[in-house]
Amino acid sequence: IMYPERLKFQGSSSEWMNKKEHLRRLTFRLDQHDKGNEQDQKKALQALEPHTNLTELHVVGYKGNEFPSWIPSLDCLVKLSLYNCSTPEPLPWLDKLPSLEVLELRRMHSLRFVAEKCDDSVHPFFPSLKKLTLWDCPKLQSWWRNNNNTDGKSRNSIIFSCISSLQIHYCPNLTRMPLYPTLDEILELVDSSVEPMRDTIYYGESKMGFKEAKVVPFSKLKCMFIASIQKSPPELWLVNFTSLEKLHIRDCSQLEALPSGFKHLRSLQSLTIETCPVLDLDQSPDEWEGLEKLNCLIIKEIPKLKSLPMGLEKVKSLREIR
């Protein structure tokens, strides 16, 4: 529905949407350039309440401070995408969607917190969420406005119970969010903080561990892309990544040597390293010896590289070098 704020509702004319029980996918595309129409947008979306059978909702260009009150009632909603919406307020209803598998928050330039506080009675946390995308949310600081429980424990002991794919791009201030030990498809961190990754690794090593997840953090992850990371990940951060098959590292200006634990990537098949100005691949010759399945190596724009890296001769499985 293009520009729903321009619609005129009379009497019960808005109820027609709610009667469409076979409607599965709905997109609201609002006018992002018409200043001063926030109330019209809010009224229009509130009036256009869909049937609870809806499984996919996309909202583009919404400028209101609050989203429609009917969203938490969408028990069948599988995918939710919010794009270029201006709300600075948290979205407390997100964890009330029991069937939500895919959540995308893109270009939410005013959003500082995803939720007001964590409802400890909701268990497990986001029970169906498999894929999360946070893209270009520069003001986003933390998942919760209040980072502490009443007992003083850190919020980052809360985990996504079944998440498989996580993409965080251009969210440099996001330092606290639910942990994600069960990732098994892809992890992308681009111009974003590594602190949530660090917290996930450290919590897995703590006495508490991930009893709910029943998994070693990142031990099932298959693909990882890291770019424009200013702060280095924790020591030995790659030790757990024993199932990783594809790794791409780009634009990491602080990376001076291959990360410790690199040799534990025994499932790695494809490695790309590019545009790392201070990286010296000759510093860690022993880190290559564990790469038993590596068959593709791509190295681009590494100024300190004058010849093939020392130790690479230990990799017998290589078929392609670029």
- pLDDT tens digits along 8-33: 766 555 577 888 899 999 999 988 77
pTM for the full model? 0.90
- Phi/psi of residue 95, each to 5°? -80, 10
Length of the chain: 322
Question: How deeply is 63 buried, as exposed, middle or buried, from its count of CB atoms within 10 A (0-12, 13-18, 19+)?
Answer: buried
Lowest-confidence pick of 91-100, 118-127, 208-217: 208-217
pLDDT score of 88 = 87
Lowest-confidence pick of 12-16, 138-142, 148-152: 148-152
pLDDT score of 284 = 83
Percent of the chain predicted with pLDDT > 70: 89
Percent of the chain predicted with pLDDT > 90: 57
pLDDT score of 208 = 56
Please check whether residue 194 is in contact with residue 218, taking contact to mean a CB–CB distance below 8 angstroms.
no
pLDDT score of 181 = 92
Instruction: Tell whether the torsion through CA atoms of 235, 299, 256 and 252 is positive or negative.
Output: negative
Q: What is the C-alpha to C-alpha distance for residues 280 and 144, in angstroms, rounded to an integer?
A: 39
Q: Which residues pair with 299 in a beta bridge?
A: 273
pLDDT score of 169 = 98
The average pLDDT across 68-75 equals 94
Give the angle 22-25-27 at the CA atoms, nearest 5°. Answer: 135
* Residue 271 DSSP class: E
**CB pairs under 8 A, 24+ apart, for 9-18?**
9/44, 9/47, 14/47, 14/48, 14/49, 17/48, 17/49, 17/50, 17/51, 18/49, 18/50, 18/51
